[in-house]
Structure 1
Amino acid sequence: MRFVLRSIMGFGLFAVMVCAIGYGVYHLHAAATAPQETRSRPPAERSFLANTATFEDVTVTPEITAYGQIRSWRTLQLRASSDGQLVEMSERFRDGAQVKAGDVLLRIDPAEATSRLLDARANLSDARSDKDEAEEAIVAAERELEATRKQVELRKQALERQRQLMDKGYSTMALVEQEQLSVAAIEQALNNRLQSVLSARKRIERSDFALKRAEVALKDAERILAETTVTAPFDGILDTVGVTLGRRVSPNEELANLIDPTALEVRFSVSTEQFSRLLGSDGQLLPQPVRVILTLGERRIIAEGLLERVAAVVGEGEAGRTLFASLDVGTDTVFRPGDFVTVEIEEPALSQVAVVPVSAATEDGRLLVVGADNRLEEIQARVLRRRGDELIVAGVPFGREYVRERLPQLGSGIRIERRQPAGAAAPVAQAPGAPSTAEGEMVRLEPERRAALLAQLAASAMPDDRKARLIEALNQPEVSRALVERIEARAGRRG
């Protein structure tokens, strides 16, 4: 009986084995004879989510950022004009003090200057007296000359009468010779009077010169006396004050510097390329507006200015150009000569350009644009300026969409799903075999639903890397509807 049962069980197992072998042979034969397209189905094409924007034709005013130093183009050195002791000093004659035009800053002992002034006035009086005396002397000399000329005429007439009488026999030769001697003597006296007149005229000329010298000496003495009082010629701030009350100063000694706080300019350097952007069509520097920024801790002091001129020479070992810009500031400005500041210069406006993020282009200016069937195409743009996190480009197709963030998985020919909401997060890269978060419609989840999905993923047994990608996708503001439905369907099957 036991033998029969074992035989029946053996035949049953053998029959099951034969059926299994036959079933396998049948499926193997069916797979071998099936058409090629049935055996190898191509995988579905993947698409990636990408942030896109549209090229807009705009006009942009770029800025050049440089660093420079504040200078004053109106600085006066106050110097002592004479030797003496400082007898008076203003309370505002100190470093950093602001003074007004005409304020008395200090006085030098005027005793010596006053003495020189009195001597000059006395010399002027003497010169005027000498001139008056010379003018009176020439009047007397001219009268004496006129009287002598009359005497000469009379003597000549007397000589002529003696000659006539001698011809008639009424006079002698001795009397004629006596008259001739008288004429010669009076002519000699006439010559002396002429010499006296000439001397008187020369004396007047010398007295004129002496009077002019005395007047110049008087003006010089008055100037020296006035310069013993040092006043401020314009409104300014004092610097480098190096004297004290009671000290004796020497001529031309430097007392202080007076700086005009409204006459400020900034000196800064730009590269050769930046300098070329600031030139007009005639090659001359454009008067472009500038903005000077002084950083004081957390405060930023800003002053407006105007580009004015270029340095005369290029320093040894330097590149580019050194520029100067005048500042429009008042007397209460906090800018001081020597401040290191940031300078922002406005360039001429650029038209027919587009502004794109730096992440949208490669170093040589290649961008990805959206073509037909949402496939990417690569174009070459001309990068004009780099402005922070933005690029100013030209030569792009205005009106077409481009990819704002050029990710490694994006390239020419790749199909994308466009997303243009403001502030959207970057797309999540997907590994092979992971469910695509770019498939289907994007939806916004309610907080309760999002929390339930995240809890379901956390409790699942899927690999950690895949679980992390799906959790990151669910934390985005918008999530693929297909992904949400697959997760919820898996939860339903488990339930």
Structure 2
Amino acid sequence: MRRPDHRRPVIVRLVLPFLMAMTLTGCKPEASNPAAPAAEMSPMDVSTVVAAAATVPRTLDLPGRLASTRVAEVRAQVSGIIQERAFEEGSLVRKGDVLFRIDPAVYKAEVDARTAGVARAEATRTQALRQSERTETLLEKQAASTAQHDIAIATLRQAEADVASAKAQLARARIDLDYATVRAPIGGRIGRALVTEGALVGQAEATKLALIQQVDPIYADFNAAASDPSLLVEQAAGKEAAEVRLVLPNGSLHPDAGQLLFTDVSVDPGTGQVSLRATFPNARVALLPGTYVRIQVRQGTIPGAVVVPAQAIQRSSAGGAQAYVVVDGKTALRPLRTGALTGAGWIVEEGLKADEVVVVEGFQKIQPGMPVNPVPWKGAWSTEASRKS
């Protein structure tokens, strides 16, 4: 018969207190590092501004494209071998600057030949003049016939015509020699050279050598709806002063205001729009032809518009405007409908009210609903500045 094991209660009594101690230790809250959760929960500092209600210009925002005021294709007017390119590609050139030099040897020889032709024609004219004078003297003495005198006069006139023809040919030869030095027809920015030294140009046609575009000032062509173009027509005609501003592709404003030049005389039947053109100063050549821009034409003012700095506006994946707003110490991502970009910032037409707190810097590290600590933004923007019309 098997004996009962009396050692099991003893082992249970020894192990049970140890297990209970381990269980109580695991259930106790972690108090060894109280600073870690506090650091995780501390609100992040973000730079903010208070959305201001201001009187801002009422603008007509239209898409447009930049165009050169003058364009000139530099072409070879005589044939020959390019000996030298005398300009730097992409540089600014003045009217009359030397761009290319074509081998002038043939044209110098032609000038010399034509010069000799003029001398020969003048000698023939001198001989004909003397012969005419002698014939006239003999005719007075009745020692020559009238027919001989007429022949002498005709010979003189032919010699004079030969002199004029020889001089014209000499002038043409000198023009060709001058064309061997290719000069800039206008001032502006020149593009890349389309030929290199050693190339034969102008043999069958006027070879295109380079392109010069005058970009100061520069044109901005854009279209507007023709439903009520009377105000733009009056502004273009100079009856009413119009402030025209240019918004660059990066969203910033061109520092110099432009001038509205004209509206087209007809409306496009396909789009129902009328073409307009404005001109802008471009002394630093920061604006390049072909760039797509936006044109703002001022048309009165908007009282009480909500304005925020341009840095506060973000773009969603769909391209819509949005901004972070601080409400009760927490962030909220607010979709917005923006108007025109002014010197004070973006006009918010919908989605934001005056005196709301908007995040300007630090939104890269925040998410909606996150507690934050708003601090005043130190950027070049203020409520007073935004109230300027």
Quickly name the TM-score band, shorter chain normalised.
0.5 to 0.7
Paired position in structure 2 for 1:86: 82
The structure that has the greater radius of gyration is 1
Question: Could you tell me how far apart the structure 2 residues matched to 1:200 and 1:246 are?
Answer: 54
Question: Could you tell me how far apart the structure 1 residues matched to 2:262 and 2:86 are?
Answer: 39
Q: In structure 1, which of residues 299, 308, 333 is the aligned counterpart of residue 285 of structure 2?
A: 333
Paired position in structure 1 for 2:129: 135
Paired position in structure 1 for 2:66: 70
Paired position in structure 1 for 2:222: 268
Structure 2: gaps (5+ residues): 1-53, 307-338, 341-346, 358-389
Which digits, 9 at most, give the CA deviation of each residue in 1:421-452, with x for residues without a partner? x7389xxxxxxxxxxxxxxxxxxxxxxxxxxx
1:23-34 equivalent positions in 2, closer than 5 A: none
- Measured after TM superposition, the shift of residue 143 of structure 1 is 1.3
Q: Contact 1:305–1:328 (CA<8 Å) still a contact in 2?
A: yes
Paired position in structure 2 for 1:173: none
Question: Could you tell me how far apart the structure 2 residues matched to 1:64 and 1:101 are?
Answer: 38
Paired position in structure 1 for 2:166: 214
**Alignment partner of 2:260: what SS?**
strand
Question: Could you tell me how far apart the structure 2 residues matched to 1:424 and 1:270 are?
Answer: 35
Which digits, 9 at most, give the CA deviation of each residue in 1:120-163, with x for residues without a partner? 11111111111111110111101111222xxxxxxxxxxxxxxx
Q: Does residue 315 of structure 2 align to residue 319 of structure 1?
A: no
Paired position in structure 1 for 2:343: none
Amino acid in the other structure paired with 2:292? F
Amino acid in the other structure paired with 2:76? A
Report the TM-score, using the length of structure 1 for normalisation: 0.48
Amino acid in the other structure paired with 1:132? T
Q: Does residue 259 of structure 2 align to residue 306 of structure 1?
A: yes
- Measured after TM superposition, the shift of residue 273 of structure 1 is 3.6
Higher RCO (CA < 8 A, seq sep 6+): 2
- Measured after TM superposition, the shift of residue 299 of structure 1 is 5.4
Paired position in structure 1 for 2:333: none
Paired position in structure 2 for 1:109: 103
**Alignment partner of 1:278: what SS?**
helix
Paired position in structure 1 for 2:303: 355
- Measured after TM superposition, the shift of residue 294 of structure 1 is 1.4
Q: In structure 2, which of residues 194, 197, 205 is the aligned counterpart of residue 242 of structure 1?
A: 194
Compared CA separation, residues 118 and 320, structure 1 to 2 (3 A): same
Question: Could you tell me how far apart the structure 1 residues matched to 2:270 and 2:305 are?
Answer: 36
Question: Could you tell me how far apart the structure 2 residues matched to 1:281 and 1:260 are?
Answer: 25
- Greater helix share, 1 or 2? 1
- Greater strand share, 1 or 2? 2
**Alignment partner of 2:163: what SS?**
helix
Identity over the aligned pairs, expressed in percent?
23
Question: Could you tell me how far apart the structure 2 residues matched to 1:88 and 1:134 are?
Answer: 47
**Alignment partner of 1:303: what SS?**
coil
Q: In structure 1, which of residues 131, 136, 147 is the aligned counterpart of residue 141 of structure 2?
A: 147
Amino acid in the other structure paired with 1:213? S
Paired position in structure 2 for 1:197: 149
- Measured after TM superposition, the shift of residue 389 of structure 1 is 4.2
Compared CA separation, residues 274 and 288, structure 1 to 2 (3 A): farther
- Measured after TM superposition, the shift of residue 288 of structure 1 is 2.0
**Alignment partner of 1:205: what SS?**
helix
Report the TM-score, using the length of structure 2 for normalisation: 0.60
Question: Could you tell me how far apart the structure 2 residues matched to 1:261 and 1:244 are?
Answer: 25
Question: Could you tell me how far apart the structure 2 residues matched to 1:254 and 1:424 are?
Answer: 61
**Alignment partner of 1:246: what SS?**
coil
Structure 1: gaps (5+ residues): 1-57, 149-189, 359-385, 392-403, 406-421, 426-495
Decide which moves more: 232-241 or 133-142. 232-241
